[in-house]
Amino acid sequence: MLKLLFDKILAFILIIFFSPILLLVSFFIWWKMRSPIFFRQKRPGKDEKIFIIYKFRTMTNEKDKQGNLLPDEQRLLGIGKFIRSTSLDELPQLFNVLKGDMSFVGPRPLLVEYIDLYNDKQKRRHTVKPGITGWAQVNGRNAISWEEKFDYDIWYVDNQSFWLDIKILWRTFLKVAKRSGINSSTTTTMEKFTGSKK
């Protein structure tokens, strides 16, 4: 109950505080890439309940001659790179927190298609609300393997507390300030999860 109250109050305050930045980023995305300004996608939340996550769009919709989207690294240019490197793309998720779909801290909400790929242990990440940031994000973010991420997620599920959340939020602030762990070790964005090797 304390976490829910904390989430909603803080989300409301931050939406007001960051409203000039939200408007400014929206304008630059529209100016450079036109609409849509927001990236919307179905994600599984607590108990695998599906919700719509909101982010600022960081990639163009450029396609090849066959009509297929170009690789991520070719569509992530200029303004998109800056928005992602500063984590500004995550700001619209404040509205997800305010709605109650997400928390500030918890396992990151991943793709719906991953649900059937998890083993029994990994499925436990859905016993809590997903978060804007989490234990995996402050311990490597996109620079660690999927198995390591899931191990961190389950550790959080088993050890969650209000003070752990405060610690994670503080470490997230430091990581965002340093812009560390944004990309994976091999690609611009994280590789897709194809199933656990364990």
pLDDT tens, residue order, the chain (198 aa)? 789 999 999 999 999 999 999 999 999 999 988 889 999 999 999 999 999 999 999 998 888 878 788 887 788 878 888 998 888 999 999 999 999 999 999 999 999 999 999 999 999 999 999 999 999 999 987 778 899 999 999 999 999 999 999 999 999 999 888 766 554 444 456 788 988 765
Res 67: pLDDT: 77
Q: Rounded to an integer, what distance in angstroms lies between the CA atom of residue 106 and that of residue 103?
A: 6
Q: Tell me the C-alpha to C-alpha distance, in Å, between residue 179 and each of 33, 83, 90, 127.
A: 23, 11, 13, 30
Rounded (to 5) percent helix, strand, coil in the chain: 55, 10, 35
pLDDT computed for residue 184 by the predictor: 45
